[in-house]
Chain A
């Protein structure tokens, strides 16, 4: 018996005192097996013109002021286009993490537009079977409120309406690089030219390359597949920079498009990059969080 006690003391006691190298290793800690959603693929909910896979968040009101100036190649007489401006004032609201609604009013065509944007799948990491990309659905309508000519043939409200729908598939490949593809469909109840179709199909391509933590280069291109007279209408291409300062995101860019909703820039772009018909423009976004604060500090020690 004595030996047993001695033996226990000899072996057990040091064992009890032994320091564990990695205590957290004893439990299945936070390091593995947790699904992590990938966030921040784009700085803004728009690449430049088109919707991005990014969402503004629940209870967030995003006030968006968009400007598109005149053509740079109009020269010094028009102060390189800055003498003219077209704008869209918009309000987006995050109903949920994956659901945003928005309203906007553009000066061009005195157009009112609204949309619903829903995230079906969010890119994630950390677990097997996590989605490698995000899938977002966006659909909207536009109504032009411009006065019609006295001899206008079609005067009903329905003739002023147009609709768009798109599926956006995007992935944040690295911290710096994100890319998205967006097949889009625009239906206009009334078109200008006989050669135009009521239905327009396009493929949107949007990319982001982060240059620093708060500055990114962005490109937004929509290739019109069918439905438009290509002699008149061009594919909208916008290139620019996202600059972020606290609650603001500034998007400064050059584009051949003036439209500021999907229907407008996909079906109404007539300027040509090749002939220097480029415009300067900016998007200003300011977010406000609506609702009560949730985070509470527990009673500390």
Chain B
């Protein structure tokens, strides 16, 4: 009996620790599109950092603004110098919670739709946002995917009149991150 109880105890502890698992990436892919018919504006960052706590549903992202790569060197320079002021505000981040984390089974491979609520900080401005995305569980690795709009003026990023026809009012941000277990 005692042995059984102990086995159950060990099982409980190990289960508890499994569900307490955290996942991380340093090579997350975050891209955005803010072009119009006049100008093609696309940039991608392949070094986003993110940590996901499977137990609490907490999820965080951080990305260096200077790490966004554009096809055009000048556009990248303007993005950093004139729009994002990346020397002053080097990072963009998101801190939030997966509202329906209970519906995600990290033990069972599959696609789970998630709703994430949290604070997005860009250009030194914080805003509460809700993002609909998904988590793909496959064994020990998971993948998060999301696509959401960001209204540029919400973050006090000034766009001068002369280029206002070329830059979209709302950028579309795409997230695609592959996580491994954080030990």
Which residues of A line the B interface, CB within 8 A?
Answer: 1-2, 4-5, 8, 12-13, 16-20, 22-24, 26-31, 34, 36, 39-40, 56-58, 60, 94, 97, 175, 213-214, 244-247, 287, 289, 293-301
Query: Are B73 and A4 in touch, CB under 8 angstroms?
Result: no
Q: Which residue of A lies closest to B134 (CB)?
A: A301
Query: Are B43 and A295 in touch, CB under 8 angstroms?
Result: yes
Interface pairs (10), CB distance under 8 Å:
A23-B52, A23-B53, A27-B182, A30-B48, A40-B80, A40-B81, A57-B74, A57-B76, A175-B87, A293-B40
Query: Are B53 and A20 in touch, CB under 8 angstroms?
Result: yes
Interface centre among A2, A39, A213, A295 (most CB of B within 10 A): A295
Query: Are B16 and A13 in touch, CB under 8 angstroms?
Result: yes
Query: Are A27 and B58 in touch, CB under 8 angstroms?
Result: no
Query: Are A8 and B12 in touch, CB under 8 angstroms?
Result: yes
Take A17-B56, A27-B26 as given contacts and tell me if A246 and B73 are in contact as well, using a CB distance cutoff of 8 Å. Answer: no
Instruction: Name the one of B31, B55, B134, B182 contacting A295, with C-beta atoms under 8 angstroms.
Output: B31
**Please, how many angstroms separate the alpha-carbon atoms of A57 and B95 in the complex?**
35
**Please, how many angstroms separate the alpha-carbon atoms of A22 and B58 in the complex?**
10
Query: Are B58 and A23 in touch, CB under 8 angstroms?
Result: yes
Query: Are A1 and B9 in touch, CB under 8 angstroms?
Result: yes
Residues of B within 8 A of A40 (CB): 77, 80-81
Q: Which residue of A lies closest to B2 (CB)?
A: A1
Query: Are A8 and B147 in touch, CB under 8 angstroms?
Result: no
Q: Which residue of B lies closest to A247 (CB)?
A: B74
B63 to chain A, nearest CB (A): 7
**Interface residues as binary, B15-32 with A (CB distance below 8 Å gives 1, 0 otherwise):** 010011010101001010
Query: Are B2 and A30 in touch, CB under 8 angstroms?
Result: no
Number of cross-chain contacts by CB at 8 Å: 144
Query: Are A27 and B74 in touch, CB under 8 angstroms?
Result: no
Query: Are B9 and A4 in touch, CB under 8 angstroms?
Result: yes
Instruction: Name the one of B63, B72, B88 contacting A57, with C-beta atoms under 8 angstroms.
Output: B72
**Please, how many angstroms separate the alpha-carbon atoms of A158 and B63 in the complex?**
56
Instruction: Name the one of A13, A20, A298 contacting B58, with C-beta atoms under 8 angstroms.
Output: A20
Q: Does B163 contact A (CB under 8 A)?
A: yes
Residues of B within 8 A of A16 (CB): 16, 19-20, 55
**Please, how many angstroms separate the alpha-carbon atoms of A55 and B19 in the complex?**
51
B86 to chain A, nearest CB (A): 9
Interface centre among A12, A29, A244 (most CB of B within 10 A): A29
**Please, how many angstroms separate the alpha-carbon atoms of A115 and B52 in the complex?**
52
Residues of A within 8 A of B80 (CB): 39-40
**Please, how many angstroms separate the alpha-carbon atoms of A17 and B166 in the complex?**
48
**Please, how many angstroms separate the alpha-carbon atoms of A51 and B5 in the complex?**
79
Residues of B within 8 A of A2 (CB): 5
Q: Does B145 contact A (CB under 8 A)?
A: yes
Instruction: Name the one of A1, A29, A94, A297 contacting B5, with C-beta atoms under 8 angstroms.
Output: A1
B10 to chain A, nearest CB (A): 10
A46 to chain B, nearest CB (A): 15
**Please, how many angstroms separate the alpha-carbon atoms of A65 and B24 in the complex?**
51
Residues of B within 8 A of A297 (CB): 31, 33, 42, 44, 174
Query: Are B62 and A31 in touch, CB under 8 angstroms?
Result: yes
**Please, how many angstroms separate the alpha-carbon atoms of A79 and B61 in the complex?**
61
